[in-house]
Amino acid sequence: MSRRVIKKIRKIYIIFSITLGFITPLICLYFFPEFDPRKHPVSYFGILQKTNWIFMISLIIFSIAILWNGLTIIKKIIKNEKYKFWLELILLPSSLCLFLTGVVTMDFGLLHQIPALLFFLSYNFFIFLFGVLRSTSYVRKGLFSVIIGSLMLFSSLLLIPFPSYGVAEIIYIFFILLWNIVMWFQQNSISN
């Protein structure tokens, strides 16, 4: 396949993933309107009969999207090969952990919680480190990722006032979407 075809497929996949990121919660809420993020984690949709398939398929699609988008962003924006290696080393297992979070439901207890926790810690660290490394060349552009990575970490403080981690997860997911959309536009403007 030519580079142009791959680029077009990637663009369609990322746009589809972003759209799915907005549609999936609406579908899940339609089937489970009683959902309250103060009481239920987002992974709760993975064990409900009406929403488990869309939840699982969405997380699989998202894990591929953040991996593909992240690898492309690293390749196009980070020039130092050593930095690329470390960022990829964090991104790959992070995406795998999100994949496992979708496939292994909450019913499996620790087998679900461990990859979920590792995803939240490692993807957050990936974005933060990306910002720090990008700041070596472009301080202002790197600062965006550092701030998003920090806000993702601080979203865990929402566990204090709420009995469930649903609110923290929703805020975290919002920052994932925001960062990926902004970075996708930035790397697209570089390649054009």
On average, the pLDDT of the chain sits at 90
CB-neighbour burial class of residue 97 (10 A; exposed 0-12, middle 13-18, buried 19+): buried
Per-residue pLDDT of 53-65, as tens digits, reads 999 999 999 999 9
Q: What is the pLDDT of residues 29-46, one digit of tens each?
A: 999 899 889 888 888 898
* pLDDT tens-digit series, residues 120-178: 999 999 999 999 999 888 888 899 999 999 999 998 888 888 878 889 899 999 999 99
Q: What is the CA radius of gyration of the chain?
A: 17
Q: Phi first, then psi: give them for residue 2, nearest 5 degrees.
A: -80, 160
Please tell me the predicted confidence (pLDDT) of residue 21: 86
Q: Read off the tokens for 43.
A: 């992974």
What tokens does 107 get? 């019913």
Q: Which of 175, 179, 181, 172 is nearest to 43 (CA)?
A: 172
Average pLDDT over residues 184-188: 82
Q: How confident is the model at residue 8 (pLDDT cuts 50, 70, 90)?
A: confident
Residue showing tokens 């994949």: 99
Q: Whose CA is closest to 179, among 6, 10, 8, 21?
A: 21
The yes-or-no verdict on residue 116 having pLDDT over 70 is: yes
Confidence (pTM): 0.89
- Residue pLDDT, tens place only, 61-114: 999 999 999 999 999 988 889 999 999 999 999 999 999 999 998 888 899 899
Domain residue spans of the chain: 3-191
- The 8 Å CB, 24+ separation contacts for 183-186 are 183/69, 183/73, 183/77, 183/145, 184/14, 184/69, 184/73, 186/73, 186/77, 186/141
Rounded to whole angstroms, the Cα distance separating 69 from 163 reads 33
